[in-house]
Chain A
Amino acid sequence: MRKILLSFLGVFAFTLTMAQTSIPTVTIKTVDGKPFITSNIKNDGPIIIDFWATWCKPCVKELNAISEDYEDWVEETGVKIYAVSVDNARTSARVAPFVNSNEWEYEVLLDPNSDFKRAMNVVNVPHIFIFNKKGELVEQHTAYNEGDEEHLLELLKKLAKE
């Protein structure tokens, strides 16, 4: 046990270490069930990765709140939102009809065995990651309180100007 911890420390001693700044590469699925490699998460402007699930009330609330003004957000800030559903096989087939019936315009991805969620160290949903144009992690946020989207929009506006 101690050996492992010591060698883990050794890794940091030998290499310069930074906290999570980029997107790990994992193969997940598109909302239609096609394979999708997360290194293809790209945008000319800021990127939001939003981990959610159909059974998670605050997640759906947050995505609904953003959805109302998403067109304006894209226009103003150039943001692209990837909504990664962590629904397992029980509910993952329901994601596409759910997204459509809510009229969401996000890039929706499926992570049915939580591979991407684990790689991104997400504990609970909702959890969002905000990346700047260069693909560097700027901020992350867990949980959702009514009105959080206001803060998010302000941050995106700032990132758009950078």
Chain B
Amino acid sequence: MRKIIIASSFFLLSVFAWGQNVQKKGVLSGNFQLDGTYYTDTTSTKARPELYGINAYGNFNYTYGNFSAGLRYELYQPPMMGYDMRYKGFGMPYAYLTYRSDNMTFTLGNFYEQFGSGMILRSYEEKTLGYDNAMEGVSVKYKPYRGIYLKGLVGKQRSFWETNGLVRGIDGEFIVNDIFKIESEKIPYFTLGGSFVSKYQDPTNTLLYLPANVAAGAARMGVLYKKINLSGEYVYKANDPGADNNFIYKKGEGLLINATYSTKGLGIYLTAKRLDNMYFRSDRNAAGTAYLINNPPAVAQEHTYSLSAMYPFATQANGEMGLQSSIAYKFKKKSLLGGKYGTKVTLSYSDVYDIKRTAIDENTAIGEKGTMGYTSSFAELGQHMYVDANIKIHKKLSKKLKGSFIQQYQEFDNTIFHVGDYHSTIYTNISVLDITYKINKHNAIRTELEHLYTEQDKGSWAMLMLEYTVSPHWFFVVWDQWNYGNPIASDKEHFYNVSFGYIKNSNRIQLSYGKQREGVVCAGGVCRFVPAFEGLMISLTSTF
């Protein structure tokens, strides 16, 4: 049925396009990505029959005036290791038809959407995570008056190759200064917003009374005044017993506050967040990343250097409260600390706790199935789960030489995050030195020296990376990560990688061979586990 609708839409679009204006041209654009690995280490592929994995997809978008239509074909045959095996297969999970006029946009088919910060609803894709909860249904965006932005949607959600669940939502954003035509910069710029989201699922469990409809509401506001920007969102969810919270009837809530102050050369940032029982899925029995309706932003800093990212923070939607702050300052050129080119120093700090849970009465255990679960005071801290304090210094020394140095301290409660098999808190001290030397106009060498010191888990690590680039086409990279501090002598392994690639405009191809350590890849507080493997990898991307 769906296929027929899409097919006929394309047909109508083409006829309409033809009929409207022969002179006007349609625009076709798209992209393509293919990642493949051939696994040479058969011990790591014991669990699967195939010695290789291929993830590939291509998007095609066609725009003609106010109309656009597009589709994506995906193939995971089989998926690469570390991606959910439920992706195995191929097909076309994404197709849409959109009409856009000045004040109204509507989409039929698949679409992505976010309300506010995403604490109540966020439909998105993140290919590095193998995450895609695209909606299938109808989405409308309408601007009835200046400064008023309304959105509405009804749809099912994608989970791997299935589409299920039922989600309905509306969202409004009101730019107060636009509505009242206030243009003076002396008056603070106010934004107000609100969302309502409801999901429906047949109550199939006969032992418990389960709500078929679960509603959630959110309110947000923002104030911008000169160099200060304050914003906050509060979300409330009605009782939603499910696998995430062991079928308790407690309400869920979340609060997020952001404050920034910045002026040329200085940036200060503070965020505070509290989440209580805020998993929100269109299938109450789902787990992992399946059928998630919302995506509360993670409160800790995201790291990109390999060893800094070894113990990554993941959002704990069942309960967390924490803050993150950062101050960045650029010492001026020709000052004492700035030197000839200036020096940028960034201090960052993240600290996250669990929420404090108290039993509802003497006879009920905390979180007992079928009860109200627990009570939680808004201001009380629970178990400490995460600390990250780091300083980053970025300096250009000469026209040819520049570099960054990072020193980082981390406390990581692995009874909560479960990275590997270690069941206690991991304390790490991490140092990173990243130096780039520009040989001449087109040739440059970059090196990363990283060290992670810890007495827990697998012990300390050292890493060396060398990269040689020839602008604009070529790059060559080698690295080695050495787990020299592993308490088990036979596990003091080297994990290495050799790769090179070619870039031409918007096309990029990379070939590499390496031995990958077991680890966790994260984006936006959502993580996926990647098992150890050895193999030959190819990666190809293109935009057209």
Contacts and interface: CB of A to CB of B under 8 A. Distances in A.
Pairing of A with B: yes
Interface of A: 1, 3-4, 6-8, 10-22, 24-25, 27, 32-35, 55-57, 61, 88-91, 93-94, 96-103, 112-115, 118-124, 127, 139-143, 145-148, 150-151
Contacts of A118: 59, 112
B265 A101 contact: yes
Contact of B28 (A18, A100, A141): A18
B262 A100 contact: yes
B29 A19 contact: yes
A92 B229 CA distance: 12
A4 B260 contact: no
Contact of A12 (B28, B112, B260): B28
Contact of B112 (A25, A114, A146): A114
Contacts, number: 239
A102 B63 CA distance: 37
B30 interface: yes
A27 B69 CA distance: 18
Given A15-B18, A17-B27, A97-B267, 18 more contacts: A3-B3, A8-B71, A10-B14, A17-B25, A24-B63, A33-B231, A35-B173, A89-B118, A93-B229, A97-B326, A101-B262, A121-B61, A123-B542, A142-B503, A143-B475, A145-B470, A147-B444, A150-B442
Interface of B: 3-4, 6-8, 10-11, 13-15, 17-18, 25-31, 33, 59-64, 68-69, 71, 91-92, 95, 100, 112-114, 117-118, 122, 124-125, 141, 149, 173, 175, 189, 191, 222, 224, 229, 231, 258, 260-269, 271, 295, 297-298, 302, 304, 326, 328-330, 344, 346, 436, 438, 441-444, 446, 469-475, 503, 505-508, 524-525, 541-544
B506 A141 contact: yes
A130 B3 CA distance: 37
B26 A16 contact: yes
Given A3-B4, A93-B258, A123-B33, A101 B25 contact: no
8 contacts: A6-B7, A7-B8, A7-B14, A16-B26, A101-B329, A121-B30, A146-B446, A147-B438
A22 B508 CA distance: 22
B268 A97 contact: yes
A121 B294 CA distance: 24
Most A CB contacts (10 A, CB to CB) among B4, B8, B328 go to B328
Contacts of B436: 61, 146
Given A7-B10, A141-B472, A32 B189 contact: yes
Contact of A14 (B17, B261, B268, B503): B17
Contacts of B264: 100, 103
B27 A100 contact: no
B6 A4 contact: yes
A115 to B, nearest CB: 7
A88 B297 contact: yes
Given A1-B92, A33-B224, A122-B543, A115 B112 contact: yes
B524 A90 contact: yes
A1 B263 contact: no
Contacts of B524: 88-90
Contacts of A17: 25-28, 62
B471 A90 contact: no
Given A11-B17, A96-B262, A145-B503, A4 B10 contact: yes
A18 B297 CA distance: 39
Contacts of B14: 7, 10-11, 13-15
A102 B27 CA distance: 37
Nearest to A25: B100
A20 B471 contact: no
B118 A93 contact: no
Most B CB contacts (10 A, CB to CB) among A18, A121, A124 go to A121
Contacts of A11: 10, 13-14, 17, 26, 62, 69
Contact of B7 (A7, A94, A120): A7
Contacts of A146: 436, 438, 444, 446, 469, 471
A40 B530 CA distance: 42
A96 B442 CA distance: 31
Most B CB contacts (10 A, CB to CB) among A6, A27, A32, A113 go to A113
A51 to B, nearest CB: 10
Contact of B95 (A4, A33, A35, A112): A4
Most B CB contacts (10 A, CB to CB) among A120, A123, A143 go to A123
